[in-house]
Amino acid sequence: MPEKGNNMQEAKVVKTLLPVLKFYRWAIPVIILLGVLSSFFEGFGIILFIPLLQSFVQNNSQTTSNSAFVDVLNKIFVNFSTNDRLAIIALCILGSIVLKNCLFYSNTVLFAWLNSRIGHRLRSGIFNQLLSVSYSFLEGNDSGKLINTLSRETWQTSIALSTLVTLTITICTVSVYVILLLLISWQLTLIVSVLMVLISLFIQFVTRQVKILGEQAVKANSDLATRMWEGLAGMKVIRAFGRESYEQQRFDLASKKVVNTFLKLDIFSGSVQPISEVLSSILLLCILVLALLQDPSSLPTLLTFIFLLYRLQPQVKQLESTRVGLIGLTSSVQDVMHFLDRSDKPYIHSGHIPLKNLEQGIYFESVNFRYNPQEELALQDVSICFPKGKTTAIVGPSGAGKSTLISLICRFSDITSGEIYVDKYPLRELNITDWRHQIAIVSQDVYMFSTSVMENIAYGRLDATEKEIIEAATLANAHEFIMQLPEGYSTKVGDRGVRLSGGQRQRIALARAIVRNPQILILDEATNALDTISEHLIQEALNTLSQSRTVIVIAHRLSTIEQADQIIVLDKGRVIEQGNLQQLLEQDGLFAQLYHLQYRNASI
């Protein structure tokens, strides 16, 4: 008997899967219809055996059975001569088989198409979700789990879908068969059904015993493992207390228990198949014999009936296994659907104001920001400005909130309170694509795609020419080392390619930013992995670059900071000092301390 809990689970899977199917609403009824028609033709082919066999038994015209359906079937061919009848029925049977298989094949193809489409839609939907959901959501989620959802669980959902369709088709097939059986003889069908249910109850009883024995076997095995482990771990104590024979006895007892339970398990589980086969055969034979004793002329009908029953059996088994399979896939389906659900996740919404050029600058007004509601503020009451065409350096100890400030400018996260203005527009009202188009960022953690150096640099501007890419690489002081790579600009880098050093990665990332030719250039410790000479060379390039640009640079090195038009000092999320180099040194605060400390180290 199906349990109530399981039924509810199936309903849950079906309910969860429905949104996936909504784009292909037409396909499901077609698939089911094809499934039903193919079962119908199969059944039809089988019942045609009744008139066929009847022709051999006796003259058809004299035959009457106690089934109106069988009589009608026999009468259809009554006017043909025996030979013609045989030929026509054989052709009809052949036609049914061919039709059934054509329909079945069309269904397989249609379903394969549907399944691949849905699989693609799911994967694409999940990837789109990854691209559009707020960055904070991704950071808060385990990346391994996300990859699992994207790869494995999506496949599982496709499988769940195919299982659901198989289940539906099997239900239809079983229904067609049962209807045909009822039409041939409702009395026989009723008797067979009752007896089948009794047999299945008996089998279920045996299966339950097998399950209990299975649990006992698992326990016996784990007890034995414990004995082994304790024997090993406590060897010193065992020997010291002279308990060798006692332990040997305990071990043998546990081992014998394993032997006994597994033997019982094998005896019981092995009996299910033979018992079920013997019982069903006895049942069928009894029906055959009893029915034939009553009416010997009904042999063709009976044989067809039994054949139909035989064909029905695997379908019933499949019904159960697909049902169980579907339940096993519930969690995968829920995982995928939960990830695709847009109602419970944060998004960065784009504004409507287009932006072609930065005119005045970026202004922070009393900006507060926290990553999570339960966490402390990462930025507190920040009021600063980044004027157009100027270079602003942000300095401060680790964890002060420098990268956080950058991520707010790039709108990776939205502020908690206050406002950021770009010229006179609030940042969140600007079209986000327009805004990000103005920016190029070289962040602290440089990411290289698994492709060529050339493509990695061109990622900054997809239509960049080779000449522009080489120019950018030269400016970023990367050209020389790229030319020394095995295949120059075509060398594959990233996870599956050549491993680059931190400094080399930084220079490629810099070239990527340069080739973008942005209005706003953001460098988050973009040169910290470089040696002094490389840094000096890049610094010169950056000086040229920053002449016509708004540059925000986070750096610890003095050389970078000294060139800046203004310096902002952050500590624990607050702006504590602000001004140019001279003003800050005069203030003699945190910046001056850091400055003098570095100078002393540098001069050592």
Ligand X SMILES: Nc1ncnc2c1ncn2[C@@H]1O[C@H](COP(=O)(O)OP(=O)(O)OP(=O)(O)O)[C@@H](O)[C@H]1O
Counts of helices then strands in the chain (DSSP H, E): 23, 11
Q: Residues near 336 by Cβ (< 8 Å), separated by ≥ 6?
A: 122, 126, 149, 153, 154, 156, 157
**Closer of 139 and 487 to ligand X (Cβ):** 139
Nearest approach, Cβ of residue 393 and Mg ion (Å): 14
Q: Could you give phi then psi for residue 413, rounded to 5 degrees?
A: -135, 160
Is the distance from CB of 581 to CB of 561 less than 8 angstroms?
Answer: yes
Total residues binding ligand X (CB under 6 A): 12
Is the distance from CB of 575 to CB of 384 less than 8 angstroms?
Answer: yes
- Per CB under 6 A, does 378 bind ligand X? yes
Contacting ligand X within 315-374 (CB under 6 A): 371
Q: Which of the listed partners (ligand X, Mg ion, none) does 139 bind, with a CB threshold of 5 to 8 Å by partner kind?
A: ligand X
Interacting residues toward Mg ion by CB under 5 A? 403
- Per CB under 6 A, does 502 bind ligand X? no
Q: Which of the listed partners (ligand X, Mg ion, none) does 371 bind, with a CB threshold of 5 to 8 Å by partner kind?
A: ligand X
CA distance 514 to 440: 8
- Per CB under 6 A, does 403 bind ligand X? yes
- Per CB under 6 A, does 402 bind ligand X? yes
Cross-strand partners of 362: 386, 422
For the chain, the C-alpha Rg in angstroms (whole number) is 39
Question: Can you tell me which of 57, 82, 84, 139 binds ligand X, judged by CB under 6 A?
Answer: 139
Max intra-chain CA distance, the chain: 122
User: Which stretch, 402-410, 418-426, 483-491, 510-518, contacts ligand X (CB under 6 A)?
Assistant: 402-410
User: Which stretch, 48-56, 86-94, 215-223, 396-404, contacts ligand X (CB under 6 A)?
Assistant: 396-404
Q: Which of the listed partners (Mg ion, ligand X, none) does 157 bind, with a CB threshold of 5 to 8 Å by partner kind?
A: none
Nearest approach, Cβ of residue 525 and Mg ion (Å): 7
- Per CB under 6 A, does 398 bind ligand X? yes
Question: Can you tell me which of 276, 444, 474, 528 binds ligand X, judged by CB under 6 A?
Answer: 444
* 55: its two tokens: 């022709």
**Closer of 402 and 507 to Mg ion (Cβ):** 402
Q: Which of the listed partners (Mg ion, ligand X, none) does 443 bind, with a CB threshold of 5 to 8 Å by partner kind?
A: none
**Closer of 203 and 410 to Mg ion (Cβ):** 410
- Per CB under 6 A, does 401 bind ligand X? yes
User: Which stretch, 14-22, 153-161, 196-204, 398-406, contacts ligand X (CB under 6 A)?
Assistant: 398-406
**Closer of 340 and 378 to ligand X (Cβ):** 378
**Closer of 296 and 502 to Mg ion (Cβ):** 502
Beta strand 417-422 pairing with 425-426: antiparallel
- Per CB under 6 A, does 399 bind ligand X? yes
* Full DSSP string of 327-371: HHTHHHHHHHHHHH--TTS-B----SB--S---SEEEEEEEEE-S
189 CB neighbour count, 10 Å cutoff = 19
Cross-strand partners of 379: 369
CA 144 to each of CA 91, 300, 379: distance values in angstroms, whole numbers, following the listed order:
59, 62, 30
- Per CB under 6 A, does 400 bind ligand X? yes
**Closer of 96 and 404 to ligand X (Cβ):** 404
Question: Can you tell me which of 404, 504, 546, 578 binds ligand X, judged by CB under 6 A?
Answer: 404
Long-range CB contacts (within 8 A, 24+) of 499-507: 500/448, 501/529, 502/446, 502/529, 503/529, 503/530, 503/531, 503/534, 504/478, 505/446, 505/448, 505/529, 506/442, 506/446, 506/530, 507/473, 507/476, 507/477, 507/478, 507/481, 507/534, 507/538
Q: Which of the listed partners (ligand X, Mg ion, none) does 404 bind, with a CB threshold of 5 to 8 Å by partner kind?
A: ligand X
Give me the residues that bind ligand X (CB under 6 A), please. 139, 371, 378, 396, 398-404, 444
